[in-house]
Each structure stands twice: as C-alpha cells, then as structure tokens.
C-alpha cells in the first residue's frame, strides 16, 4: 500500500503559524512568505474523505506550478520556488475577498440558472436559445465573494464589487485583464493537448502595492475540462460531455448513497478504489500537461517533504 500525507504538523525555521484548508496546509514563514504543503486529502460535497490518494498532492502542485510558470509573463504570481513535489513556497499576500471565475461554456451552475430563465451571468447578458454545454459568444468573468460567515460563495457583479468597496475600481480593472489573459493562455495550452478549458477560478492578492496571482490555477480541482474530440458530436446529440475532472469521485459517492447531507455516512473506500482514483489523477496530469508523470518516492512522503522544505528554508535568503 502506498503511503500518503493526510496531515502535516511540521515546525519550520521562521514559522509563525499554520492554516489548514481542505487539501492544503499553509505555513506562515516570518509573516512574509507562505510554504504551501499540498496533501493527498481529497474532498467532495464539502467533506474531506477519510483516505488519502497516493500522488494526488504531487499532481495538483506540479500542474499549478507549470501553469503559473507558463503565465508569469501575463501577471506576477506568488510562487518563488517548489522545494518538494508536494510543496510550493512564495509571497504571503493579502487576498482580495473575491474569486474570479471564468466561464467559456454554458454548463454547470450557469446552465441551471439559464434553464430557470436567467439571461445574465453576474450582470453579463447571455443570448436566448442556447443549449447546455454550448460555447458562449465570449468568455464571461463571473466573480463570487464569500458570504458573511464564509459558508457559501455568492455571485456578485463588477458594479457591486466596486460599489461595496471590496476592490478599488482601478485595481479591479487590472485584475479583470489579468484574469482573462491567464484564462486564454490556459485555454490555448489545453487545446494543444486535445482539451477544452470550460471554466475555472483564479484568486489574487496584494503585497507591497503589487497584485499577484495566488493559490493554484487550472488544476482538475479548480477547473472543468472537456475532451475536444467528440465534443461537437455529443453536443449535437444532447449527450453529456466527457469531462476531465474529479467528477468521477462525486459520481462514485452518489452511487454509494452519499451526497454530503446530514446523517449520511461516507462509504468505505477500498484499496482498489483508492488506487483507481490515484491512477485517474495521474491520467489527468499527463493529459493536461502533455508530459509523463514521474512518481516520486513515497515510502515516507511526510519525512521527504519535511526534509526538503527544511533544507530549502535554511538556505533561503
């Protein structure tokens, strides 16, 4: 059985604190930098599942790192180095309280809203007569902001963001340009690998008066991809699109009676299923990047990460 990292509890040089998200453990280094450990945890329906997925953290971290590198000519990003396949080190920024979601196709929540009669996505008009999974006339930025207690995301328009003082107008205009530039670059790279970047989300932050692209980008956990081959045939026949995402995990959970509702129990994840999920994530990596995935030594993955990150921090100036 492969070993995974489910939780980290390291004590690094200069460490001032730690924040644990659903997948990432983020260490504050000297209040100026962040060391992000991408664990092998997997979540669905806002629930972290009980078992880790071998290599999942490496897959997500390396996809995000590659896309950040591929877009650094468009917008500065937070990453300075990747001291371990599961870790990223970079600038500690003050996050803007808005997530920039880009939609190029009418699918998911936007399709559900459209089907119920809505003809605007976050204030942007959408034409009549469209079908599910149809390409929009042009990509739409549909921001969301966290609710008062952070429990749910809320759709919000450009005008509301500026009126409520969440982001100054001049800065928001620049973030919009960055968002669209990064998305179009990501869509171009996806097309080169036989994929369609359907929708995704980006987050931005600010440090010393400078705007940075932060967190992960264009990973299967934060984005939806369709396979380009067969897209038109499936669309014309009204069939579901073949997706490249972790949707298959949600489908398995639903088939086994779990949708994250109160009283429901997470089904037992067998070794065979865990290994199948691991193989699917590796497939995602190879399809999205067009490169062979190189499995790192995970005999003791937590010790490897700690050793590599500690050595990096001790030498970082």
- CATH code for the domain of 118: 3.30.470.20
Task: Name which of 76-80, 88-92, 287-291 the model is least confident about.
Answer: 287-291
Rounded distance between C-alpha atoms, residue 80 and residue 94, angstroms:
17
What is the mean predicted confidence (pLDDT) over 99-120? 92
Mean pLDDT, residues 106-113 taken together: 90
Is residue 299 pLDDT above 80, yes or no? Answer: yes
Query: In the numeric block, which tokens belong to residue 116?
Result: 């119920």
Percent of the chain with pLDDT over 70: 97
Q: What is the mean pLDDT of the chain?
A: 93
Identify whether 302 is part of a domain.
no
In a domain, 185, yes or no: yes
Has residue 180 been placed in a domain? yes
pLDDT for the residue numbered 317 = 75
Residue 272 within any structural domain of the chain: no
What are the b/e assignments for 178-212, b being 16+ CB within 10 Å? Answer: bbbebbbbbbebbeeeebbbbbbbbbbbbbeeebb
What pLDDT shows up at residue 2?
A: 57
Count of structural domains within the chain: 1
Q: pLDDT (tens digit, 9 = 90+) per residue, 43-84?
A: 988 899 999 999 999 999 999 999 999 999 999 999 999 999
Q: Does 219 reside within a domain?
A: yes
Is the pLDDT confidence value at 148 over 60?
no
- The reply to whether 125 falls in a domain is yes
**In the chain, what's the furthest Cα-to-Cα distance?**
60
pLDDT over 70 at 147, yes or no: no
Provide the CB-side half-sphere exposure for 301 (13 A, CA): 25
Distances, alpha carbon 146 to alpha carbons 73, 156, 167, 169, in Å: 29, 10, 14, 19
pTM for the structure as a whole:
0.91
Does residue 165 lie in a domain region?
Answer: yes
Mean pLDDT, residues 201-226: 95
Residue 130, in any domain of the structure: yes
Domain of residue 174: give its range.
95-243
155-212 pLDDT, tens digit each = 888 999 999 999 999 999 999 999 999 999 999 999 999 999 999 999 999 999 999 9
Q: Up-side HSE of residue 250: CA atoms within 13 Å toward CB?
A: 13
């Amino acid at each position: 059985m492969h070993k995974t990292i489910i939780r980290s509890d390291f004590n690094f040089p200069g460490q001032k604190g730690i924040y644990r998200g659903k997948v990432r453990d983020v260490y504050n280094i000297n209040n100026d930098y962040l060391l992000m450990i991408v664990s092998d945890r997997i979540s669905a329906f806002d629930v972290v599942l009980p078992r880790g997925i071998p290599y999942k953290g490496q897959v997500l971290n390396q996809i995000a790192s590659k896309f950040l590198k591929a877009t650094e000519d468009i917008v500065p990003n937070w990453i300075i180095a990747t001291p371990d396949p599961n870790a990223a080190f970079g600038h500690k920024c003050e996050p803007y309280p808005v997530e920039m979601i880009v939609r190029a196709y009418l699918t998911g929540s936007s399709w559900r809203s459209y089907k119920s009669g809505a003809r605007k996505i976050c204030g942007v008009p959408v034409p009549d007569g469209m079908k599910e999974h149809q390409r929009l006339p042009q990509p739409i930025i549909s921001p969301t902001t966290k609710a008062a207690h952070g429990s749910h995301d809320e759709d919000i328009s450009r005008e509301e963001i500026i009126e409520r003082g969440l982001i100054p107008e001049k800065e928001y205009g620049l973030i919009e340009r960055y968002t669209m530039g990064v998305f179009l670059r990501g869509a171009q790279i996806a097309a080169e690998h036989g994929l369609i970047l359907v929708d995704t989300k980006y987050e931005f932050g600010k440090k010393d008066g400078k705007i940075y692209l932060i967190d992960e980008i264009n990973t299967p956990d934060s984005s939806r991809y369709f396979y380009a081959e067969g897209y038109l045939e499936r669309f014309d026949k009204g069939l579901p699109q073949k997706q490249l995402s972790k949707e298959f995990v949600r489908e398995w959970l639903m088939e086994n009676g779990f949708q994250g509702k109160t009283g429901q129990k997470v089904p037992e994840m067998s070794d065979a299923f865990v290994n199948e999920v691991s193989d699917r994530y590796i497939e995602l990596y190879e399809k999205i990047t067009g490169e062979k995935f190189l499995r790192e030594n995970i005999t003791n993955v937590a010790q490897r990460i700690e050793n590599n990150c500690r050595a990096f921090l001790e030498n970082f100036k």
